[in-house]
């Protein structure tokens, strides 16, 4: 990597940049595959790229002309480069995407939403298995079906499956403790295995039917149900025949409500891109078992003007980084280095993955539907962004800021007479609420116990900004706010100003939002350090915007407080015993009835509990009898 230019006098010579710098690197490069980084004079990585032939790729950048505007700007800013050779092109692509996710270069395409997708899971190992939603690593043994686009899509499918197949959704602990049927049995959403309303063999048949339905074999399931209903009717088992009739009716309603159900596509992801005004929207539709299992839209950062093939290549490489690719991926546009991307996805899946851009037929219709959704979603997003930018500009004018804030942090505390005190921080910017960056702070000092709101706010802000000062003192990460909104009046703002001054951070604007004399919406007063309070007119959109920000911070803090309180409410001394986890805790409580009864039990009594060995029984006994 190129070092700083040496000092030649009172002024330092400027760092050389551009195609001439890149030309110098050609002497040391060969035709190996690998990854390169383009770096500016401030040592910031501008771009990470891969190449089948490093020398050939870099020689393109060394040309003084013939580049697009985006590439020309990037070359002009380049002051040095770094290289890393790999054995294969696929390794280069994998390394490139890892570096992009780590470094987030300005000129690269970056997928900003990397949440996992939910699945439906039917676990094995239980005579009456439940059906449930699952997200994350597939560590539990069982049959997985997915991915679904959202938790809502899973919930809707589970509700439909309950109506048709009557599988239980309660946990194993609830199942074991039931003595009479629950409401779901009464409304015909569960077969009631917890109290013996269905045999193990019959329940296994329900599980098998549900799995066949999720695999797309709905016609077979319906035919089997119709045959069973006919047999029950012939045997004059009219109650059973009526129950089967209700299940067939529910199944018919489910099939008619499935939406787009392609006959010729059993398993595929449909990926469509719409690019407009330098912004991109990618729609992904999940087709599994000939059924549409929902869709999700993504808005990748386009790397200062990348074109469709480059965006789609980066999207596919990053999107399937932690997700198993389907057998078929249908695209709206060709992708750069299709053979390389196909090889990468096939390696990740452990089987062949096909990428196609269909031109006619049912597959083309699926892509066109996804493309239309991408186009409409991007239009809505751009309209929302325009409105949000106007609100931020209005906020800057109302609060006399130098420029519209790009990152607003709003703070609030929640507690009940000092108990379970929690501080909350929400973040908003040009793209609306940035929920992935919300934070909660468990109050650790005596301020919480003393109901000291100033002390709690001091703890929250101190922890927040000490961490920022440690991790990003140069303020390059975008994690530093332009504006702080505090729930409170002049006293709260003065206290916050003192805290920030102590931390040496006195250049961030702050505003306190206090309710007026009647404590009503619309009569808020705004406080700034050293300035008289002021108010906005009742129908000002900026006022509504600030109210939404303040209410969101209050909602977030209240939610964190309630979660902490609920966790404390269900806590028992058993939680503190080494080696006693959720399973042993549940077994002990079911056997003795309460933690107090456990504390009084002898070693032999404790050993009578399932899962409690002699050594563990002694540990539990010693825990309670050595405390006092």
Residue 156 neighbours by CB under 8 Å, 6+ apart: none
- pLDDT value, residue 257: 44
Q: Cβ distance 546 to 485 under 8 Å?
A: yes
Report which secondary-structure segment, H or E, holds 275.
strand 267-276
Report pLDDT digits (tens) over 157-209.
Answer: 888 778 778 899 998 888 888 888 888 988 888 999 999 999 999 899 889 88
511 pLDDT band, cuts 50/70/90, is very high
Please report, in angstroms and rounded to a whole number, the separation of the first and last CA atoms in the chain: 65
pLDDT value at residue 522: 59
Neighbours of 4 (CB within 10 A): 10
Rounded distance, CA 215 to CA 209, Å?
10
Is residue 313 within 8 Å of residue 337, measured between CB atoms?
yes
Q: What is the 3-state secondary structure (H, E, C) of 367-435?
A: HHHHHHHHHHHHHHHHHHHHHHHHHHHHHHHHCCCCCCCCEEEEEEEEEECCEEEEEEEEEEECCEECH
- Alpha helices per DSSP H over 235-307: 238-256
Sequence-separated (6 or more) residues with CB below 8 Å from residue 371: 272, 273, 274, 283, 332
Q: Find the mean pLDDT for residues 463-491.
A: 88
Q: List all residues 6 or more positions away from 348 whose beta carbon is below 8 Å from its beta carbon.
A: 320, 324, 325
Helix axes 541-569, 361-398, angle to 10 degrees: 110
pLDDT at 252: 62
120-160, pLDDT tens digit by residue? 899 988 999 999 999 888 888 999 988 887 787 788 788 87
Q: What's CA 503's distance to the chain center, in Å?
A: 32
- pLDDT of the residue at 308: 92
Report pLDDT digits (tens) over 385-417: 888 889 999 999 999 999 999 999 999 888 665
Look at residue 125 in the predicted model and tell me its pLDDT: 85
Q: Is 540 exposed, middle or buried (0-12, 13-18, 19+ CB in 10 A)?
A: middle
Residue 357 in this model has a pLDDT that exceeds 90:
yes
Contact 403, 430 (CB under 8 A): no
Per-residue pLDDT at 564 exceeds 80: no
pLDDT of residue 579: 85
Q: Is the pLDDT of residue 427 over 90?
A: yes
> What percent of the chain has a predicted confidence (pLDDT) above 90?
34
DSSP run (H or E) holding 567: helix 541-569
CB neighbourhood size of 496 (10 A):
21
Average the pLDDT over each of 181-185, 318-322, 379-383, 425-429 and give the range with the smallest value. 379-383
**Position 437 pLDDT exceeds 60:** yes
Dihedral sign, CA of 300, 306, 311, 317? Answer: negative
Write down the pLDDT at residue 432: 87
pLDDT winner (highest mean) among 80-84, 498-502, 556-560 = 80-84
CA 497, chain centre distance (Å):
34
- Cα separations in angstroms, 468 against 59, 461, 475: 40, 10, 8
pLDDT of residue 1: 40
The structure tokens listed for 163 are 């109506």
Q: Across the chain, which distance is largest between two alpha carbons, in Å? A: 106
Does residue 569 sit in helix, strand or coil?
helix
Confidence (pLDDT) at 160: 76
- The b-or-e profile of 352-375 (16+ CB within 10 A means b, else e) is ebebebbeeeebeebbebbbebbb
Taken in order of first residue, the domains within the chain and their CATH numbers are 19-107 (3.40.1440.10), 119-256 (no CATH), 267-380 (3.30.420.340), 407-567 (3.30.420.340), 573-625 (1.10.150.20)
Q: Which residues pair with 509 in a beta bridge?
A: 483
pTM: 0.67
Mean pLDDT for all residues in the chain:
84
Which ranges of 66-171 would DSSP assign to H, the alpha helix? 69-77, 89-103, 151-165
Place of tokens 């006994």: 621
């Amino acid at each position: 990597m190129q070092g700083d230019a040496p000092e030649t006098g009172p002024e330092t010579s400027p760092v050389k940049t551009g195609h001439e710098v890149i030309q110098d690197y050609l002497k040391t490069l060969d035709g190996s595959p690998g990854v390169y980084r383009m770096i500016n004079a401030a040592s910031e990585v501008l771009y990470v790229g891969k190449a089948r032939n490093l020398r050939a790729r870099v020689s393109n950048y060394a040309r003084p002309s013939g580049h697009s505007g985006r590439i020309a700007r990037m070359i002009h800013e380049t002051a040095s480069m770094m290289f890393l050779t790999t054995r294969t092109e696929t390794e280069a692509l994998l390394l490139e995407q890892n570096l992009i996710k780590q470094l987030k270069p300005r000129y690269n395409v970056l997928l900003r939403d990397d949440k996992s997708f939910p699945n439906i899971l039917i676990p094995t190992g239980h005579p009456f298995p439940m059906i449930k939603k699952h997200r994350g690593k597939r560590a539990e043994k069982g049959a997985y079906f997915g991915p679904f686009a959202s938790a809502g899509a899973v919930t809707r499918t589970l509700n439909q499956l309950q109506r048709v197949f009557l599988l239980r959704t309660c946990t194993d602990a609830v199942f074991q403790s039931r003595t009479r049927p629950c409401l779901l049995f009464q409304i015909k959403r569960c077969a009631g295995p917890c109290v013996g309303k269905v045999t193990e063999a019959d329940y296994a048949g329900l599980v098998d039917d549900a799995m066949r339905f999720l695999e797309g074999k709905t016609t077979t399931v319906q035919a089997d149900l119709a045959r069973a209903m006919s047999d029950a009717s012939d045997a004059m088992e009219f109650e059973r025949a009526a129950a089967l009739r209700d299940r067939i009716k529910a199944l018919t309603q489910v099939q008619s409500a499935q939406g787009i159900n392609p006959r010729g596509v059993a398993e595929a992801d449909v990926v469509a891109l719409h690019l407009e005004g330098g912004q991109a929207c990618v729609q992904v539709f999940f087709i599994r078992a000939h059924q549409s299992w929902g869709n999700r839209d993504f808005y990748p950062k386009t790397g200062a003007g990348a074109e469709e093939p480059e965006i789609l290549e980066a999207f596919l490489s990053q999107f399937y980084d932690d997700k198993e690719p389907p057998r078929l991926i249908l695209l709206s546009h060709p992708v750069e280095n299709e053979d390389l991307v196909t090889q990468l996805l096939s390696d990740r899946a452990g089987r062949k993955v096909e990428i196609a851009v269909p031109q006619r037929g049912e597959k083309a219709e699926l892509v066109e539907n996804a493309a239309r959704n991408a186009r409409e979603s991007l239009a809505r997003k751009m309209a929302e962004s325009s409105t949000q930018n106007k609100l931020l500009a209005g906020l800057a004018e109302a609060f006399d800021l130098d420029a519209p804030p790009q990152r607003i942090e709003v703070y609030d505390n929640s507690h009940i007479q000092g108990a379970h005190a929690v501080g909350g921080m929400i973040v908003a910017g040009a793209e609306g609420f940035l929920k992935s960056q919300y934070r909660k702070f468990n109050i650790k000092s005596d301020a919480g116990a003393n109901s000291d709101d100033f002390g709690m706010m001091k703890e929250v802000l101190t922890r927040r900004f000490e961490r920022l000062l440690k991790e990003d003192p140069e303020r390059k990460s975008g994690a530093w706010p332009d504006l702080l909104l505090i729930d409170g009046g002049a006293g709260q703002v003065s206290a916050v100003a003192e805290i920030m001054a102590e931390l040496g951070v006195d250049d961030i604007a702050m505003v306190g939002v206090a309710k007026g004399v009647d404590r009503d919406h619309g009569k808020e007063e705004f406080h700034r350090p050293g300035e008289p309070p002021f108010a906005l007119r009742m129908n000002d959109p900026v006022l509504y915007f600030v109210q939404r920000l303040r209410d969101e911070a209050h909602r977030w803090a209240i939610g964190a407080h309630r979660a902490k309180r609920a966790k404390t409410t269900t806590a028992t001394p058993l939680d503190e015993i080494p080696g006693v986890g959720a399973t042993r805790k549940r077994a002990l409580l079911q056997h003795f009835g309460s933690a107090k009864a456990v504390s009084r039990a002898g070693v032999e009594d404790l050993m009578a509990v399932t899962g409690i060995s002699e050594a563990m029984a002694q540990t539990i006994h010693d825990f309670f009898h050595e405390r006092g």
